[in-house]
Amino acid sequence: MRCVIQRIRDGKVYVNNEVVGKAGHGFLVLVGFTQDDTNEKIDWAAYRVAHMRIFPDDNGKLNKSLLDVGGEALVVSNFTLYGDPTRGSRPDFMKAAKGEISKPMYDRFVAKLGEFVHVETGRFGEHMELETYSDGPITIILEK
């Protein structure tokens, strides 16, 4: 399981020019899965995302979490996180779990993260367009 977490000021996900998910101050979380991922990994990642301290405290130190700042999460499925570009011109996506395997994992991740913070999503398996205002920029890769 791989998450790319970007601290944002605002974010929206569009499908066919319609906003299907949005978040204000918080995180954009791109998430991808392999067929070897487990519920334990998914639960761990949801907890880590909610508790990751990458917001500044009163002294400007990155010491506050999404929970501490009342932030939101915009979660978008992204199988291309497992693209391997080391051979040829086209990335190899063989490590990425197929939709029928990754959809239940994605749903579990969204539900588990939703136990901590407000979560909105894109649409799994759809072509999506993202509009984000990065804050920092701060981008973290989380993998288990």
Beta carbons of 11 and 130 less than 8 angstroms apart: yes
Beta carbons of 65 and 55 less than 8 angstroms apart: yes
Q: Which domains does the chain have, with CATH numbers?
A: 2-143 (3.50.80.10)
pLDDT for position 107: 98
pLDDT for position 117: 98
**Residue 144 — pLDDT band, cuts 50, 70, 90?**
confident
pTM above 0.85, yes or no: yes
The one-letter amino acid code at 25 reads H
The one-letter amino acid code at 2 reads R
pLDDT for position 12: 98
Query: What tens digit of pLDDT does each residue of 105-131 get?
Result: 999 999 999 999 999 999 999 999 999
- 142's enclosing H/E stretch is strand 129-143
